[in-house]
Amino acid sequence: MKSLNDHEFGGQHTEIKLEIVEKYLKAYSIALRHKFNSLWYIDAFAGTGSRTVRIEAKDGDLFDEPVPERVESRRGSAKIALDIEPKFDRLIFMERKPAHCTALEMLKSSHPDRDIHVLNGDANAFIQANINRVNWSSRRAIMFLDPYGMEVAWETLQAIARTKAIDVWFLFPLSGLYRQAARNISAVDATKRKVLTNMLGTDEWEAELYSSVPPSTDLLGALDAPEERQRNADVAGLEAYVKRRLETIFPLVADPFPLPPQRKPQRFSLFFAASNPSPKAIDLANRFARHIIDAGISSHVRPR
Ligand SMILES: C[S@@+](CC[C@H](N)C(=O)[O-])C[C@H]1O[C@@H](n2cnc3c(N)ncnc32)[C@H](O)[C@@H]1O
């Protein structure tokens, strides 16, 4: 029977993503603990606190017995953040799905000594309406944006950047971008255009990413196809464009970590962005993020 905590998603890249975020949370909490009165963790796409991992069955051979498929429950981002030492002063979990919120409420009940807020609804609406009403002068926060797909609106990123107090890890859905931004512009219909503009915060993506290809002619020089505009950016070019867009609102955006790290096609880019423009804050955030991304993860070979 399915339990409230059952939340099966992602693959090996999920493991890596959570390892990177956990390392940053640890470094951040140690470094900023004594500098600010209050450190918050905001999980905008919080899930249930757990994730269900299916481990494939293995055939037996001469030496080993066959191993049946097994299902394990591991910590999701919300539980990982709760375990960080020194502890975050407040944890805010936003989640649209009511059943996931029930699981998060249970997590909250099992930690009565912690200041945990579970918000059921659309993270974009919560962030845009409330994040700049907080007095950030003596507070800092780290936010994790871990959507399934293209749910993060540009206005949400702008609202976060305006706080000048929040660092963000953002799992950007690169595969969503290259699917919506089809190779030929004629295949990008009004719905796709709207999604792209909502995600990238401008309709200039068309001019930036597409260029005209000369119409082809037949052997006698007659035109046999109308002029078409094609996307000139490949996957790496799209990722570089997203980084340039983020740099228009955040003072620091680190080179993203590609996920999965080695297998093609790349499906996600894990971006780190800091919103505090002070040179000291940028230097610290950059050193942490770069160190964690560059070192790769112990058991994973460095990408690129
Ligand atoms: C990939 S899962 C997050 C996993 C989580 N970070 C973890 O490690 O356990 C994405 C979650 O975002 C939720 N979600 C999707 N759209 C949302 C929205 N607009 N606002 C808030 N939550 C949303 C989904 O219900 C789902 O639980």
Instruction: Specify the higher pLDDT residue, 298 or 125.
Output: 125
- Is the CB–ligand 1 distance for residue 143 below 6 Å? no
- pLDDT tens, position by position, 26-67: 999 999 988 999 999 999 999 999 998 888 888 888 788 888
- pLDDT tens, position by position, 65-79: 888 888 889 999 999
Instruction: Specify the higher pLDDT residue, 227 or 272.
Output: 272
> What burial letters (b/e) apply to 100-128, b meaning 16+ CB within 10 Å?
bbbbbeebbeeeeeeebebbbebbbebbb
- Is the CB–ligand 1 distance for residue 100 below 6 Å? yes
Answer yes or no: is pLDDT of 299 > 60. no
Q: How far apart are CA 34 and CA 12, in angstroms?
A: 35
Contact call for residues 249 and 159 (beta carbons, < 8 A):
no
Q: What's the distance, CA 163 to chain centroid?
A: 19
Ligand 1 atom nearest 97 alpha carbon: 25
Contact call for residues 118 and 93 (beta carbons, < 8 A):
yes
Task: Report how far ligand 1's centroid is from the alpha carbon of 50 (Å).
Answer: 12
Per-residue confidence at 262, pLDDT binned at 50, 70, 90?
A: confident
Contact call for residues 78 and 100 (beta carbons, < 8 A):
no
| Domain covering 12-56+66-174+252-294: architecture | 3-Layer(aba) Sandwich (3.40)
Answer yes or no: is pLDDT of 151 > 60. yes
Q: 119, 105, 107: which is closest to 44 by C-alpha?
A: 119
- Is the CB–ligand 1 distance for residue 51 below 6 Å? yes
Q: How far apart are CA 222 and CA 210, in angstroms?
A: 25
Answer yes or no: is pLDDT of 302 > 60. no
Per-residue confidence at 1, pLDDT binned at 50, 70, 90?
A: low
Q: What is the pLDDT of residue 303?
A: 47
Ligand 1 atom nearest 45 alpha carbon: 12
For the ranges 5-9, 88-92, 138-142, 193-197, the lowest mean pLDDT is seen at 5-9
Q: What is the pLDDT of residue 129?
A: 98
Q: What is the pLDDT of residue 58?
A: 84
Cβ count near 228 (within 10 Å): 15
Tokens of 114: 């912690």
| Test site for ligand 1: of 6, 21, 45, most ligand atoms within 8 A of the Cβ | 45
Task: Report how far ligand 1's centroid is from the alpha carbon of 137 (Å).
Answer: 29
What are the structural domain ranges in the chain?
Answer: 12-56+66-174+252-294
For the chain, the straight-line distance linking the first and the last C-alpha, in angstroms and rounded, comes to 42
Share of the chain above pLDDT 90, in %: 74
The per-residue pLDDT of the chain, averaged, comes to 91
Q: What is the pLDDT of residue 2?
A: 59
